[in-house]
Structures are given as C-alpha cells and as structure tokens.
A and B are shown apart, each in its own frame.
Chain A
C-alpha cells in the first residue's frame, strides 16, 4: 500500500477523501463513531476493519474510540430488532409512498441486468429487498422469489404475478443453501448499524448454495456528481441520541421553514438538491433543529459523514396523499408548498470505498472462536465462529453505487 498523506485539509469532496478513507480502513484507525450512545449501551468491543485474524489479535487500535466491554458481549437479538430510525424513516416511509415509488422504478440497471443474464438457466434467484419487483422475472430462464419489509410494495409485486413474501433482510426465513443466486439492490444502505449491515450480508450468503453468487449494490457517499454531496441533509451526532433513543411521542413541528428541494433527478441516486445555505433545518420527526455548520468541526464532520436523510416528494395529486394527512398531523412529514408535495425523509447510511469489502472479508474468517483479550487496556473480539465462507469475485463502482459480487465457498 502506497504512503498516504496524513490529513487532507478541509475542501471539496474528491479523490483525497477517498484516499483518507482507504488509509483509515487499512490501519484500522477508528473513525468518529456516530453511534457512541448505542455502543456504550451495548458495551460493544472494537469492530475489525478488514484486518486478517492474526493481525487483529496483535493489532492495537487507538484507545480514542474504545469502549470497555461490560461483561458479556451479547447482542445477537438486538442486531435483528429493527431500530427506531429504520421503523420511522425506512419502513413507514416506503409503506406510505409505495405506489408512487413503484411508478418511478422501472429502468433496469445494466450491471444488474448483466449479472442476472449471466446466471445458469434454471437458477433460483432470491431478490432480497425487491421493492416493486423491478428485477423479478428479468431473466426468463430463472425462477425469482422476492421479499421486502414493505407489505404495500410486496402487494404491487404480487399483483404483477411474482412469487413474493414479506420478510426482513436481516433475518431471512429461507432455509440454508437453497438459492442459486441472490441480489440486494439498494437495500443495505437503509440499515442503520454496522452489525445489521454485516448480518444482512451473512444472510445473503447463508441462503445461497455453495458456488452461489450474491450481488450487492449500495449508494456511495462519493457521488459521480460531487457537487450534489454538499446538498444532502446530514445527520449529526448530537441528534443521534434523540432519533435512536427516541421513545417519547412525536411533537408537532413548530417551525414554518421547509426543506427546499427539487424532484429527484436520478431515480437510482435519489439525490436531492437543497438550498445553498450554511444554516440548514431538517426534520427528524419530532421537532425542527438547526444544524450550525459555521463552527470548526464542520469539515471534520463532513469527511466522516455517512448518515443522511434523503427526502421523497409525494405530489399532492397522488392518491397516497390521503394517508399523508396523518403523517403531516404528527409531524412525520412536511408540506412543500412550492413544489406541491408532501416530503418524507428516508434514512441512508451511504457507503465509502472498501466498506462492502470490509464486511465481506470478515466473513472469510472460518470458525474462529470469539476471544476476549484482557491483557490490553481495552477489549476486542475476533469474528464469531460459524460464518460461512465467501469470496469476492467482482467489485466495482457504477452510477454512484458501490457494488460487490460474492461467491459462497
């Protein structure tokens, strides 16, 4: 690995930031953890950053971001429980916008089409997070089974004659080794923790046979049109506790200031342009808050920022608008009078270069038992035993998405 510069100064998105991220990935330098509150609650140990097992055993990540383990490291149930942010800003939103969303999902992505067409005739293909079923039946020589967490989207698929079910990507109800291939197209970026994203990849590998292929695509933080990045609505750490820990009932929004956005320019990136203003208000479903970007931490936060709300504009004339009135009432959605739409926010964790590979490399660690090393001032763990082997057979960046193809060994 070539020497890399230490800290790139504040500036525009570009190759430099990607390099910094790659450096961080290799040396396992922890990045600021936006989920500190959640980690402390769980007492989680250090997560590996793609290091081989022995290196991980002897490596000593900086204590900066370490949290001492509190007794047993046991969150196998929590990884499959849906966090509040996903319930509010993924599940409910897609349920509310399903027909409109489906109407905009028709273009077939060439890379996905190519993957599906390369499969052996007679293959069983599992589309996990199939949405409106855009890819179901794409290759007529294969048999497709789709699943999604959104019942309204699944009903749209069923209405088109597809074989579908309602299921959770983090806890698939398929038995092991059944599929010949699996695809997860623009799904994992809606999962809000590293553990859940990794679990979803493990599930995809589990449900295909040995030699089966898995295609995963996710939104990239590094968009092809880099200027758009500045206009996403970032979620900042100080609001983390509120929308992760939120348990009180939603409060009606007091502010009249609205997000200014235009309609999605590209259905596959869904990037929204925001008003070019240093002070931005965003809607978190509880009350409006102001993110002040004028302080010195701004550029540092931006470099590490991977959590965003991306708005969806539902035009007033759509039939789904009827259900939107309840959402408006409790502050879950907002009106954009200028655009004539109701605005919902969708949660995204956008991926950096190497992030998909990081979780995939971890799955190659065969039957290594969990070890707790107490001779260091902090504790960390090697990967859990029993994870099936998978190897990366392809990886690429396409249309602002990071993509990976895995083969189950």
Chain B
C-alpha cells in the first residue's frame, strides 16, 4: 500500500464520524523506485491531506522526510525543482509513490477498528455487525 492510497482511505464502520485519517501502524515496509513525473505530483497535491501524509511518514519512522506544513507553491512549481536532490517535490514523490507498506494496519480514529494490511494489501471489508 502506497501512502497515496492511505491518504484517500477512510473508515466506513458504523458509528465512525469521519473515520479519517486512519492511523498507520507499520511492521514491514520497503521502497521501490519509480520515475518522478513532476507534473503528476503537482496535479496530485491539491487532493492530498498534508497532515495525514506527514503522520504516515512519522509512523514509518521518517520524521525528517516531510515538513509539518505543506511547502509553498513556489517551491513545488519552481523551474528545475524536480532536478534538485532533496527538493520538496522529490520528497513528496518519494513519500506518496515509492514507499510501500507491506505489513501493518490502519486504525479508525473514531472506533479504533483495525483494518489489516497483509502483503501490501489493505482489507477494508466490514463484518455484518459493522455496516
């Protein structure tokens, strides 16, 4: 599961008020390099909940990867930003698309319901008494 996916997942358990963001608990993860498409990342950013993304990177033990506050637009859209090692856009790309959670769970903030992640696959199916 990529952190992009984590960013869009919410708990749909009966009784959850927002069910978002899901708390990430990780026991196993890895990175897989993928080519940076700067325009794609720039297009994604308006959809991303920055706090949830930062919290997820903290859960992975990467506190230095992303700043608390979303970098300003000038930094993201700057000419040649993508070519600079360690630039904001590269870090965001790494966080969203290159990190893969393999084993762990997603915890509903309202109900504490745990959705397991096995072999990189979250299972969001609810039981009969949860719908």
| Chain A residues in the interface with B (C-beta under 8 A) | 77, 80-82, 121-122, 124, 143, 145, 147, 149, 151, 154-155, 158, 163-168, 171-175, 178, 209
Q: Known: A77-B131, A124-B47, A166-B125. Is A158-B120 also a contact (CB below 8 A)? A: yes
Residue of B nearest to A151 (CB): B123
Determine whether the beta carbon of B126 is less than 8 Å from that of A168: yes
A175 & B10 in contact (Cβ 8 Å cutoff):
yes
Q: Name the residue on B nearest A203 (C-beta).
A: B12
**How far does the Cβ of A167 sit from chain B's closest Cβ, in whole Å?**
4
Complex-state Cα separation, A77 to B44, whole angstroms: 34
Q: Are A81 and B4 in contact (CB under 8 A)?
A: no
> Which of A81, A175, A178 has the most CB atoms of chain B within a 10 A radius of its CB?
A175
Report B-chain residues with C-beta under 8 Å of the C-beta of A151.
Answer: 121, 123
Instruction: Chain B residues near A167: list those with CB within 8 A.
Output: 124-125
- Inter-chain CA distance A149–B124, complex, in Å, is 9
Decide if A175 touches B20 in the complex (CB within 8 Å).
yes
Q: Is the CB of B124 within 8 A of A166?
A: yes
Q: Pick the contact of B121 from A77, A158, A173, A209 — CB < 8 Å?
A: A158
- CB neighbours of A155 from chain B (8 A): 119, 121
CB distance from B6 to the nearest CB of A (A): 10
Min CB distance B43 to A, Å, is 4
Please give, as numbers and ranges, the residues of chain A lying within 8 Å of B8 by CB-CB distance. Answer: 145, 174-175, 178
> Which residue, A81, A143, A158, has most C-beta atoms of chain B within 10 A?
A143
Task: For B47, give the chain A residue with the smallest CB separation.
Answer: A178
**B residues in contact with A143, CB < 8 Å:** 4, 40
Query: By the criterion CB–CB under 8 Å, are B123 and A166 in contact?
Result: yes
Set of chain B residues within 8 Å of A178, measured between Cβ atoms = 8, 47
Interface status of B76 (Cβ within 8 A of chain A): no
Question: For residues 22 through 62 of chain B, which have their beta carbon under 8 Å from a beta carbon of chain A?
Answer: 37, 39-40, 43-44, 47
Looking at B2, B4, B124, the one whose CB has the most chain A CB atoms below 10 A away is: B124
Contact B131 A80 (CB under 8 A): yes
Q: Is the beta-carbon distance between A173 and B119 smaller than 8 angstroms?
A: no
Q: A158 to chain B: which residues have CB within 8 Å?
A: 119-121
SS of A interface (majority): mixed
Q: Is the CB of A173 within 8 A of B9?
A: yes
What chain B residues lie within 8 Å of A174 (beta carbons)?
8-10
> Is the CB of B122 closer than 8 A to any CB of chain A?
yes
| Contacts of B83-131 to chain A: CB distance below 8 A | 115, 119-126, 128, 131
User: Could you tell me if B119 and A168 are in contact, using CB atoms closer than 8 angstroms?
Assistant: no
The distance in angstroms between the C-alpha atoms of A171 and B131, with both chains bound, is: 8
Task: Say yes or no: B14 contacts A165, CB within 8 Å.
Answer: no
Known contacts A122-B39, A143-B4; A165 and B10 CB within 8 A of each other: no
Query: Judging by beta carbons under 8 Å apart, are B1 and A173 in contact?
Result: no
Interchain CB contact under 8 A, B125 and A81: no
Known A-B contacts: A124-B47, A165-B124, A175-B8. Give 17 more (CB < 8 A). Answer: A143-B40, A145-B8, A151-B123, A154-B121, A155-B119, A158-B121, A166-B121, A166-B124, A167-B124, A167-B125, A171-B12, A171-B126, A173-B9, A173-B124, A175-B20, A178-B8, A178-B47
**Chain A neighbourhood of B14, CB < 8 A:** 77
Shortest Cβ gap from A195 to chain B (Å): 13
Task: Say yes or no: B125 contacts A149, CB within 8 Å.
Answer: yes
Q: Which of A81, A124, A154, A163 contacts B128 (CB 8 A)?
A: A81
A72 to chain B, nearest CB (A): 17
Do residues B44 and A165 form an inter-chain contact, with CB atoms below 8 A?
no
Contacts of A168 in B (CB 8 A): 124-126
Contact B128 A173 (CB under 8 A): no
Contacts of A173 in B (CB 8 A): 9-12, 115, 124
Nearest A-chain residue to B122, judged by Cβ: A165
Which A residues are in CB contact (< 8 Å) with B11? 173
CA distance A240 to B5 in the complex (A): 40
